Structure 1
């Protein structure tokens, strides 16, 4: 029930925001209110973008490093195999919502060059996340499971932090080949994740220029 409590808390805070912004969210007439629709689209874009940005920042630069330094390597890998599909799904959905809302608010034909670039950056963030979710992450997880099996046969994988893998791989051609393949796939996955994060970072700079504080 913890998730329900968090959801209710989020809805409550959103309701408070509505109460304090009646000129935007309040009903002014029985007809359609274009300003209200625009405000809701901006809200959807901002919430989705900030969620994607925050999740990417935490997973890429904070959470993963903390887990790597404090968990046995196989336990760390197994946790990542459960977390990454959920992470890329979340960020992908948020990027899609942000892209759709921004695209609706800034139609391509009437958009400025800067706005078209921003659409491109949001589309890039979505595409890189989708490639990770559908291609690189499944391949990485499968390769990791195969490598874990070989490592267990050699009594390694329970160490924390720096691995004994490279030392054992010098006398184990099978493990060495797995390391090479895993490194290539994991490298592509990391690159896609960094490119997505970079695209979101560029868009954050654009949004900062639009905010009046």
Structure 2
């Protein structure tokens, strides 16, 4: 007895992405990765060590929304482009892992964009206003510690900043790891350079 042949409506097939789709996927992944490495490990350290504290904070408040939104968009497009050409019914173990990596990256980048990064920037702005109101226009670490010891409101802002900055940094690090793993996955699938 012959097994029934599934109809065209119930067949699930993986389609080979076009070169344009592959290029878009690679552009999103490499843009996100390069931006994350540059902002996290180069620009942040250089600006933090060479700019006055308030100037550095102002630049970050202006730059980070673009950074976070671009990272979120790239993560979303990476997941979408991958999912379009890898039906869930046909995923190998490696592809399932890659899908999870993309999902984690989207979640971490959206959390950073919508909550942690925004909250950190808002808290820094409030801290700078309070520092200026106490005559600390370009406050040093020592003068901020003194203000923290004498002003409970400023101390609370410092504690909130520490929490939200840590959560934002954790999300950022998570995205860097996810994109690094995705690059590794792509590299392992290349037949040649």
- What TM-score, normalized to structure 1? 0.78
**1:73–1:159 Cα contact (<8 Å) kept:** yes
Aligned residue-pair number: 178
1:51 is matched with which residue: 19, 24, 31? 31
Q: Determine if contact 1:92/1:126 at 8 Å carries over to the other structure.
A: yes
Provide the rounded CA distance (Å) in 2 between the counterparts of 1:137 and 1:113. Answer: 33
Q: Among residues 198, 202, 210, which one is paired with 2:177 in the alignment?
A: 198
Alignment pair present for 1:102 and 2:82: yes
Q: Does structure 2 conserve the Cα–Cα contact (< 8 Å) formed by 1:41 and 1:105?
A: no
The Cα shift of 1:157 comes to 4.8
TM-score (norm 2): 0.85
> RMSD of the TM alignment (CA)?
1.7
- Any gaps of 5 or more consecutive residues in structure 2? 1-14
Q: How far apart are residue 97 of structure 1 and its match? A: 1.3
- The answer as to whether partners of 2:131 and 2:139 remain within 8 angstroms in 1 is no
In 2, Cα distance between equivalents of 1:163 and 1:62: 25
Q: Matched residue of 1:106: which SS?
A: coil
Partner of residue 110 from structure 2, selected from 130, 133, 140 = 130
Using CA pairs below 8 Å that are at least 6 residues apart, which structure has the higher relative contact order? 2
Distance 1:189 1:173 in 2: 24
Q: Which residue of 1 aligns with 2:143?
A: 164
Structure 1 gap segments, 5+ residues each:
1-33
Q: Distance in 2 between matches of 1:71 and 1:144?
A: 16
Q: Runs of at least 4 residues of structure 1 off by over 4 A?
A: none
Q: Does the 8 Å CA contact 2:32/2:74 hold for their aligned counterparts?
A: yes
Deviation at residue 174 of structure 1 after TM alignment: 2.0
